[in-house]
Amino acid sequence: MIIAKAEVIVTSPDRNFVTLKLTTDDGLTGLGDATVNGRELAVVSYLRDHVVQLLIGRDAHRIEDTWQFLYRSAYWRRGPITMAAIAAVDMALWDIKGKAAGMPVYQLLGGASRTGLLAYGHASGKSLPELFDSVRKHQEEGYRAIRIQSGVPGLRAIYGIASNETFAANHGQRYDHEPAQRGAFPAEEDWDTRAYLRHIPTVFEAVRNEFGPEIPLLHDGHHRMTPIQAAQLGKSLEPYDLFWLEDCTPAENQEALRLVRQHTTTPLAIGEIFNTVWDYQQLIREQLIDYVRSAVTHTGGISHLKKVLEFAAQYQVKSGMHGPTDISPVGMAAAMHLGLAIHNFGIQEYMKHTERTDQVFEQSYTWQNGLLHPGDNPGLGVELNQDEAGKYPYEQAYLPYNRLADGTVHDW
């Protein structure tokens, strides 16, 4: 089974997606997601200019060998662009292997360890009534775990908060920027950590009073705090029993998490911007986190993330794979197959894609009673409708950024 064709497809049904499609000499196809939000074309070039020609003629069955070849032969290891490109090849090869075997990928990974994947959605609101509305809508859709993001008095625009009622009703699908802002330049948002630290515990208190003690609640700090501020937040949220506090501080410096950990029992999740096991080495070995946030798409594919999660399992650290709408349905399906098979699954982030995205990527995964399942189609279970994909050309789109009141650029 030889790889005969490799195409890189860029499509923008409401947001940009980069997809690798491999075709074997006997006509099997495999898809891989290589989307890096806001830097999409860098991965397109990496694949088109440096990888696809190396794939032609290779044995499509040799997934591990191809992974090692791409990782080691490049010499320049790691990094989001390299690891997303390798991830796409890896996913596409697992997809092909599944189709060749007539089995869904999770069967090849050891079979199902559970009946479905608990998933959380994004509730947000500028005010408490908007936030409560958004929580109720998620509950009506069956979500059994909900992430809570709230506006902060005095701050104009905060990343992750739906900016008006339409967007709130849309469940934050366009949580990162409005369509009108796509293009030209990153939108500027504002930030004040002290105001945030004062406000957020009151939001969780109100949400617990309204929705009760049972529902798992999550929160994303989006790298905005220093370690001591993160420790303070974790501590002040303890009465509200969070499922996790995510990205409480930037984690390039893994040691920083020691300080946070010493001060709070709020569970911690980190890693959506990590791309190899080396980014987690200290965090996992010293049990400084509870959940691994990596996406299959950004962490070298199923093969590499499986190794990260097996390492994590030895330390009772669980999966909490990244799943916002900038992970394509192909990347989401890959996450679901892996999550279903591993023992240390924790939770899966899941935001519904837009209708247009679902028409481009035809999926077999299901969402029922708050649980995701990858479906039983051979391979990953997602097919690309290339006619639909062709209708939506690439559009430049940036993520926003932050400035403090005095004009200093801040983490966001």
Best CA proximity match to 356, nearest among 20, 9, 12, 34: 12
User: Tokens representing 197?
Assistant: 């630290």
If binding is defined by CB under 5 A, does position 130 make contact with Mg ion?
Answer: no
Best CA proximity match to 24, nearest among 50, 56, 48, 51: 56
Residue 326 interface partner, choices Mg ion, ligand GCO, none, CB cut-off 5-8 Å depending on type: ligand GCO
Q: How many residues form the binding site for ligand GCO (CB under 6 A)?
A: 10
If binding is defined by CB under 6 A, does position 326 make contact with ligand GCO?
Answer: yes
Phi, psi of 347 (to 5 degrees): -160, 160
User: Do the Cβ atoms of 295 and 309 come closer than 8 Å?
Assistant: no
If binding is defined by CB under 5 A, does position 349 make contact with Mg ion?
Answer: no
Burial of residue 153, with CB atoms counted within 10 A of its CB: 0-12 exposed, 13-18 middle, 19 or more buried: exposed
If binding is defined by CB under 6 A, does position 99 make contact with ligand GCO?
Answer: no
If binding is defined by CB under 6 A, does position 40 make contact with ligand GCO?
Answer: no
Q: How many residues form the binding site for Mg ion (CB under 5 A)?
A: 2
Catalytic residues: 159, 222
- What torsion do the CA atoms of 306, 308, 309, 311 make, to the nearest 10 degrees? 120
Burial of residue 137, with CB atoms counted within 10 A of its CB: 0-12 exposed, 13-18 middle, 19 or more buried: middle
| Shortest distance in whole angstroms from residue 159 CB to ligand GCO | 7
Best CA proximity match to 38, nearest among 402, 319, 396: 396
Residue 3 or 161: the one with the smaller Cβ distance to ligand GCO is 161
Spatial distance between the Cα atoms of 216 and 118, rounded to a whole number of angstroms? 11
| Shortest distance in whole angstroms from residue 177 CB to ligand GCO | 10
If binding is defined by CB under 5 A, does position 220 make contact with Mg ion?
Answer: yes
Residue 192's Cβ-side half-sphere holds a number of Cα atoms within 13 Å equal to: 13
Residue 69's Cβ-side half-sphere holds a number of Cα atoms within 13 Å equal to: 13
User: Do the Cβ atoms of 11 and 360 come closer than 8 Å?
Assistant: yes
If binding is defined by CB under 6 A, does position 271 make contact with ligand GCO?
Answer: no
User: Tokens representing 358?
Assistant: 């679902």
Residue 98 or 160: the one with the smaller Cβ distance to ligand GCO is 160
Residue 171 interface partner, choices ligand GCO, Mg ion, none, CB cut-off 5-8 Å depending on type: none
Residue 107 interface partner, choices ligand GCO, Mg ion, none, CB cut-off 5-8 Å depending on type: none
Site string for Mg ion, 254-273 (x = CB under 5 A): ------------------x-
One-letter amino acid for residue 70 of the chain:
L
Q: DSSP class of residue 353?
A: P
| Shortest distance in whole angstroms from residue 147 CB to Mg ion | 9
Residue 349 interface partner, choices ligand GCO, Mg ion, none, CB cut-off 5-8 Å depending on type: ligand GCO
Question: Which residue from 95, 272, 290, 383 is in contact with ligand GCO, where contact means CB under 6 A?
Answer: 272
Residue 61 or 137: the one with the smaller Cβ distance to ligand GCO is 137
Residue 271 interface partner, choices ligand GCO, Mg ion, none, CB cut-off 5-8 Å depending on type: none
Inter-CA distances, 214 with 208, 210, 234, 280, 372, Å = 9, 11, 19, 31, 20
User: Tokens representing 395?
Assistant: 């559009």
| Shortest distance in whole angstroms from residue 293 CB to ligand GCO | 7
Query: Using only C-alpha atoms, what is the Rg of the chain?
Result: 21
| Shortest distance in whole angstroms from residue 313 CB to ligand GCO | 22
Strand ordering across the sheet containing 29-33: 3-11, 17-24, 29-33
Residues 17-46 that bind Mg ion (CB under 5 A): none
Segment near ligand GCO (CB under 6 A); pick from 47-55, 75-83, 184-192, 318-326: 318-326
Site string for ligand GCO, 347-386 (x = CB under 6 A): --x-------------------------------------
Site string for ligand GCO, 146-185 (x = CB under 6 A): --------------x-------------------------
Residue 71 or 243: the one with the smaller Cβ distance to ligand GCO is 243
- Other residues' Cβ atoms within 10 Å of the Cβ of residue 269: 29
All residues at 6 or more sequence positions from 97 whose CB lies less than 8 Å from its CB, including other chains = 60, 61, 63, 105, 108, 379
**Which residue has its beta carbon closest to Mg ion?**
220
Task: Give contact residues for Mg ion (rule: CB under 5 A).
Answer: 220, 272
Task: Give contact residues for ligand GCO (rule: CB under 6 A).
Answer: 37, 160, 220, 222, 272, 322, 324, 326, 349, 399
